[in-house]
Chain A
Amino acid sequence: MWQFFHKLGSPKWFFGIATRLMPWLLVGGVALLLTGIVWGLAFAPKDYLQGNSYRIIFIHVPTAFLAQSVYVMMAVAAVVTLVWRMKLADVFVKAVAPVGLVLCFLSLFTGAVWGKPTWGTWWVWDARLTSMLILLFLYGGVIALDRAINDEKSAARAVAVLVLVGVVNIPIIQYSVEWWNTLHQPSTFKLTEKPAMPAEMWVPLLLSVLGLYLLFGWLACLRMQTEILLREQRTRWVKEFVMAGRG
């Protein structure tokens, strides 16, 4: 167990694993996402209340879901950074924060565009939308703080603390539709209940969520590799890797 833990902390070992995983993540992610989206756009039945505008759900829910779960993953990595000082955890936070920012922006954007034909307005300052906007600012704050501190170790610690403070926002987003009166509809998926929509609607939605997850995995591996190369550029294995790729 401890040996595994040590290996997991080794950037070189992770680099190799990521290289082997990435083709599968990319192919699987793109295939699932495109299947879900094409199915949802062209074949799923129309919503009886919202008409065709509901088809935005097939990207709105995956991006919103990922934006939150990426933040939770970052929070776990932040704990690992603070407690065990594992370098790889900090590499993860740094590599993934911009991806979270883009996903969070996409969920807000698609939500606003969906809101116009459905609610009659692009934006309301209600609990779900506002807490999601705060998540966007948290991502931005994490990226800015990391760039503002030159020393790698102090940056890692400061960013980890900020990520952990911000994690309080996640349950607020999650329960905002139940605690407050809001225009936003309740969650589409719940772990304990069957979805309220027919299978022709929720199966493509599930596919696109899974696909985006895999695609996120690919992006995370790729960006972590970049960060590892930057940090380890003085080591021998990086030299061997870089010079081997030339011929």
Chain B
Amino acid sequence: MAFDSFSAFVVMEGHGPYVWACYGVFFLLMIGLMAISLRRRRAVIESCRRGFEHQADGHSQQASQQPVAAFTRIKVSQD
């Protein structure tokens, strides 16, 4: 241990605020980035799943409800 006491460790001979501000922001941003990345992956999986389930529902109903007209969306490339 490079410090005599815990309070000396916190104060760091006057440099405490600088050191702790750096470590605070570091952990805040890193943990935030990790949490956002995890949550986004979960959200994408969830939305894929809902899409597939919706698709499956559509197939089972198709036999009873034939659409009167069909519309096709044409994708136009921008380049």
Contacts and interface: CB of A to CB of B under 8 A. Distances in A.
A140 to B, nearest CB: 15
Interface string A108-127: 01100110110000000000
Contact of A59 (B26, B40, B51, B52): B26
B49 A42 contact: no
Given A56-B22, A110-B22, A222-B38, A229 B79 contact: no
Interface residues of B, number: 33
A41 B12 CA distance: 10
Given A105-B29, A215-B30, A243-B49, A229 B18 contact: no
Q: Tell me if B's interface is mostly helix, strand, loop or mixed.
A: helix
B57 interface: no
Interface string B22-40: 1101100110011001101
Contact of B15 (A52, A110, A225, A230): A52
Contact of A219 (B15, B25, B34, B48): B34
A226 B18 contact: no
B48 A233 contact: yes
Contact of B48 (A37, A43, A117, A238): A238
A225 B41 contact: yes
Contacts of B63: none
Instruction: Tell me which of A55, A109, A229, A230 has the highest count of chain B C-beta atoms within 10 A of its own C-beta.
Output: A55
Interface of B: 1-3, 9, 12-16, 18-19, 21-23, 25-26, 29-30, 33-34, 37-38, 40-41, 44-45, 48-49, 51-52, 77-79
16 contacts: A41-B9, A51-B15, A52-B15, A52-B16, A53-B18, A53-B19, A55-B19, A56-B22, A106-B25, A116-B18, A151-B77, A223-B41, A238-B48, A242-B48, A243-B49, A246-B49
Interface of A: 37, 41-46, 51-53, 55-56, 59-60, 63, 98-99, 102, 105-106, 109-110, 113-114, 116-117, 150-151, 153-154, 215, 219, 222-223, 225-226, 229-230, 233, 238-239, 242-243, 245-246
